Amino acid sequence: MKDLQHDLEIARSIMDDYDDYYGVEPDRLYLRSNEPLDFIFANIDVLGKDVLSVLASSDQLFSFCYGGAKSVDCFDINPLTEYYYYLRRFAIEQGLGPYPYDFNNEKLRDLLKKVKPKTPEEQQAVNFWLRLEDEYRGLMYGPLFFSVFPAGNTTYEGREEGLIDVLPQKSLTFRNQNIFNPFDMDSTYDIIYTSNILENARGSVRHLKVCRDNLDKLLNPGGIVVSTRVLRDGEDNMALREREIFEEVFDYVPGASRISSVTGRSDQPYYVYQKK
């Protein structure tokens, strides 16, 4: 089980030190994905696949489940993402929609009172949010959360009732893990979804090589890494350095192009590394 007191202290430090944490992402929660997941998932085959995905806002996990993935394990550098997953799941199961960020404290408290935890992890998530709701007014609008402008829709938006039946029936399989540190796992996967994590390490050859080797070890033969572009880096030197390092092990596959709803220009919001 996770250390509830430790995780509450992380949350309190963010809520109490807004100026220090504003814009510092590993400890803040993404309210929703800033990726065009509907477009990306229309162009990758997830049906029946074993998947490892960053947890982040949980939109990625939900999209893999909705798309028919066989299994989805998750990791994230931020331990609080697991609590946000359960909060979003509770909201979906209670018919309140997939995004609880418009909750005031009263709505949040009413939701948590309706939840009947089925696992120790769900009970711990309820306790986490009840404690924070009791201590902080305007919790859901506070600095604990990082608000983003969505670049597209999710695969399941407006169809949340179909999501409930395909969510993991047991506790979420989650690791609090920095992918730029050695990643010790026995499982292997067909798809690893890294979101825009690689952009955070482009200034470090060492981090990129550790990450590359982690992903290579975790992928089945022919498996793919799906990464997204949030920064408009085009083919700048740092993006090329990342590709050079990864192409020692992977084949680079450009993503599909689209007209961005944000910029109105053609772009490729994702790209793929395929295991040789």
Q: How confident is the model at residue 98 (pLDDT cuts 50, 70, 90)?
A: confident
Strands 29-30 and 145-146: parallel
pLDDT in tens, 183-219: 888 899 999 999 999 988 877 889 999 999 999 999 9
- pLDDT value of position 104: 86
Q: How confident is the model at residue 65 (pLDDT cuts 50, 70, 90)?
A: very high
Buried residues in 111-144 as b, exposed as e (16+ CB within 10 A):
bbeebeeeeebbebbbebbeebbeebeebbeebb
Report which of 40, 43, 33, 27 is spatially closest to residue 83, judged by C-alpha positions. 27
Q: How confident is the model at residue 246 (pLDDT cuts 50, 70, 90)?
A: very high
DSSP state of 136: -
For the ranges 94-103, 105-114, 175-184, 209-218, the lowest mean pLDDT is seen at: 94-103
Contact 56, 197 (CB under 8 A): no
Residues β-bridged to residue 100 = none
pLDDT in tens, 123-147: 999 999 999 999 998 898 888 988 7
Phi and psi, residue 40, nearest 5° = -60, -45
For the ranges 24-28, 32-36, 37-41, the lowest mean pLDDT is seen at: 24-28
DSSP state of 199: G
Q: Which uninterrupted H or E stretch holds 18?
A: helix 18-21
Indicate the average pLDDT of the chain.
88
Q: Which uninterrupted H or E stretch holds 92?
A: helix 81-93
Q: Which residue would you say has higher pLDDT here, 13 or 124?
A: 124
CB atoms near residue 20 (< 10 Å): 11
CB atoms near residue 244 (< 10 Å): 12
Q: Which residue would you say has higher pLDDT here, 200 or 8?
A: 8
d(CA 74, CA 193): 9
Contact 93, 164 (CB under 8 A): yes
For the ranges 10-24, 120-134, 153-167, the lowest mean pLDDT is seen at: 10-24
Contact 223, 274 (CB under 8 A): yes
The structure tokens 């938006």 sit at 157
- pLDDT value of position 134: 95
- pLDDT value of position 100: 80
